[in-house]
């Protein structure tokens, strides 16, 4: 009988202890739930503020806010060409920079005739290291640049393992994706500071959201741009300069040609024109955004996803894409 009494007392003590721990866990669970709900509400409000309210309130006067001239790098195709057109649509004069003179002439003429703005162009190959910048600096010295869009960038022919990339590819990505934004900003920013107004838009990528295997050097270069943009904004916001990091997911451009699905416009893969029309409306509102509401949902999910899950899906997608690309080469 005594043994039964002792067991009863032990059971009672364990029950009281479990009750305490359950209450503690309930409090932690409630705190976590409230925190996630508040975060979700804030993210939803931010998305509406960026992607819905600006569309309802009309277009911002970019000339008044930043200046009459904009410079866009990598502007003969894809996002760069579309963004330059969107700027011109809002009355901003544009200077296009790319390496193909014939394409530059054609795009420059088309934008000027369509939107009745002034256009100019500079031929420059950003893969040539320090070589193009003296000429660019000379060409821009008498221009009052209000907006700089560092769009020029390059990707691999298809996702691949780091050791399969040539040294030329590695250097080209570093020069084109990283050095160009640094040097173009260094050329244009002093004039903006002098006027106490201006905007710099750096086209990063959602690949900076989490480590993305088989896109390692590309993702790292875009992560650099994202960090560079955010830090630079803190440095120069008090001087009237707005610096924005755009972090889109896949856009149906030539850069996505390695994948048949991604290279075609769809619900989740917008055309460059569709993307640019959304992204430009976020200028001045957010220092870091995907620029497109559908991509914002994906970026938020990706940011909160465990790193190993993101990496697993990235490896799975990239391996399939690489296999398809290699099979196409054999044909």
**Which of the residue ranges 38-42, 220-224, 301-305, 319-323 would you say has the lowest mean pLDDT?**
38-42
Greater confidence, 326 or 18? 326
Reported pTM: 0.82
CB 142 within 8 A of CB 191: no
Strands 288-289 and 198-203: unpaired
Confidence of residue 25 (pLDDT cuts 50, 70, 90): low
- Tens-place pLDDT, residues 291-325: 888 888 888 788 778 999 999 999 999 999 889 88
Alpha-carbon distance of 108 to 120, in angstroms, equals 7
- Tens-place pLDDT, residues 52-80: 555 555 678 899 999 999 999 999 999 99
- Tens-place pLDDT, residues 159-177: 999 999 999 999 999 999 9
Annotated active-site residue in 83, 158, 218, 236 = 218
If phi > 0 it is left, if psi is from -120 to 50 it is alpha, else beta; for residue 284 that is: left
In this prediction, residue 1 carries a pLDDT of: 44
227 has catalytic annotation: no
CB 99 within 8 A of CB 153: no
Strand blocks (E) in the chain: 69-73, 93-98, 119-123, 145-150, 198-203, 241-246, 288-289
Residue matched to tokens 């084109």: 176
Sign of CA dihedral 220, 221, 225, 227: positive
Domains of the chain by range and CATH?
49-330 (3.40.50.720)
């Amino acid at each position: 009988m005594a043994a039964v009494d002792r067991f009863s007392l032990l059971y009672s003590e364990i029950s009281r202890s479990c009750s305490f721990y359950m209450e503690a866990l309930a409090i932690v669970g409630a705190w976590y739930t409230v925190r996630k709900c508040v975060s979700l509400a804030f993210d939803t409000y931010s998305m509406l503020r960026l992607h819905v309210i600006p569309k309802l309130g009309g277009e911002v006067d970019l000339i008044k806010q930043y200046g009459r001239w904009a410079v866009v790098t990598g502007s003969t195709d894809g996002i760069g060409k579309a963004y330059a057109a969107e700027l011109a649509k809002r009355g901003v004069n544009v200077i296009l920079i790319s390496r193909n003179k014939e394409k530059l002439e054609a795009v420059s003429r088309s934008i000027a005739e369509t939107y009745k703005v002034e256009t100019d162009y500079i031929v420059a190959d950003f893969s040539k290291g320090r070589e193009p910048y003296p000429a660019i600096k000379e060409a821009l010295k008498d221009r009052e640049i209000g907006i700089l869009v560092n769009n020029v960038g390059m990707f691999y022919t298809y996702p691949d393992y780091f050791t399969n990339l040539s040294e030329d590819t590695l250097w080209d990505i570093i020069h084109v994706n990283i050095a160009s934004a640094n040097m173009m900003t260094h050329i244009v920013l002093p004039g903006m500071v002098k006027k106490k107004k201006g905007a710099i838009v750096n086209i990063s990528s959602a690949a900076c959201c989490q480590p993305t295997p088989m896109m390692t050097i590309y993702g790292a270069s875009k992560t650099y741009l994202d960090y560079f943009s955010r830090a630079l904004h803190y440095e120069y916001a008090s001087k009237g300069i707005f610096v924005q990091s755009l972090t889109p997911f896949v856009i149906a451009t030539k850069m996505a040609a390695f994948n048949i699905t991604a290279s075609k416009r769809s619900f989740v893969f917008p055309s460059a024109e569709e993307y640019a029309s959304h992204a430009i409306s976020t200028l001045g509102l957010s220092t870091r955004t995907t620029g497109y509401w559908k991509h914002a949902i994906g970026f938020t999910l990706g940011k909160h996803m465990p790193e190993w899950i993101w990496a697993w899906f990235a490896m799975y997608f990239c391996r399939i894409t690489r296999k398809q690309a290699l099979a196409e080469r054999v044909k």
